């Protein structure tokens, strides 16, 4: 399926709110991601992220509609050689290979844009099998499993750390 990665626009707020307002998506993200996800959440998020240079947060656009977000967060200080990857995609596009392609593009973008970054990592909840598959398809390696490292929806869960290194 064809998609586009681009900066967020205020005109994306309606479609982002529509696609993000899904308990299944919220269950796989940190609690900073609100549920229900309202139009005002999208407006505020876009206002916060659309002016960053270089871009760190991208809209995933299918058929001219923002249906997800992928972000890369270069770290600072002693961690400046690493960047954290995060993403979500509308449930209606799950299982179609979009996110695997999106992650591939962001890997290249990150290593080309942020010259200090030599490692991209992602934290995945132990129950999020789809996300582990996306990362493994993109040659991320499982670096660690942190046992009983977080609480999500009242359940204690393991965190799986995946990483890929600049060649």
Domain boundaries, the chain: 4-165
Residue 51: pLDDT over 90: no
Residue 60: band (very low, low, confident or very high) from pLDDT cuts 50, 70, 90: very high
Sign of the torsion angle spanned by Cα atoms 4, 7, 12, 15: positive
Cα angle: 163, vertex 51, 14; to 5 degrees? 90
Could you count the other beta carbons within 10 Å of the beta carbon of residue 134?
Answer: 24
Answer for the pair 103, 132: CB distance below 8 angstroms, yes or no: no
Q: What is the pLDDT of residue 1?
A: 80
Q: Please give the pLDDT value at position 37.
A: 97
The CATH number of 4-165 is which of 3.40.630.30, 3.50.50.60, 3.20.20.70, 1.10.10.60? 3.40.630.30
Six token digits for residue 117: 């970054």
> Is the distance from CB of 159 to CB of 150 less than 8 angstroms?
yes
Predicted pLDDT at 97: 96
Q: Six-digit token pair at 13?
A: 């707020």
Mean predicted confidence (pLDDT) in 122-136: 98
In the predicted model, is pLDDT for residue 50 greater than 90?
A: no
Which pLDDT belongs to residue 30?
95
The reported pLDDT for the residue numbered 110 is: 98
């Amino acid at each position: 399926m064809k998609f586009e990665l681009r900066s967020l626009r205020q005109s994306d707020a309606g479609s982002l709110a529509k696609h993000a307002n899904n308990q299944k998506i919220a269950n796989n993200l940190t609690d900073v991601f609100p549920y229900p996800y309202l139009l005002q959440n999208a407006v505020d998020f876009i206002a916060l992220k659309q002016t960053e240079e270089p871009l760190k947060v991208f809209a995933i656009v299918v058929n001219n509609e923002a249906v997800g977000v992928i972000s890369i967060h270069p770290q600072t200080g002693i961690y400046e050689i690493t960047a954290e990857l995060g993403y979500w995609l509308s449930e209606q596009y799950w299982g179609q290979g979009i996110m695997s392609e999106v992650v591939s593009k962001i890997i290249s973008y990150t290593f080309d844009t942020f010259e200090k970054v030599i490692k991209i990592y992602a934290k995945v909840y132990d129950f999020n099998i789809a996300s582990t598959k996306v990362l493994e398809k993109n040659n991320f390696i499982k670096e660690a499993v942190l046992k009983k490292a977080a609480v999500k929806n009242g359940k204690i869960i393991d965190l799986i750390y995946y990483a890929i290194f600049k060649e």
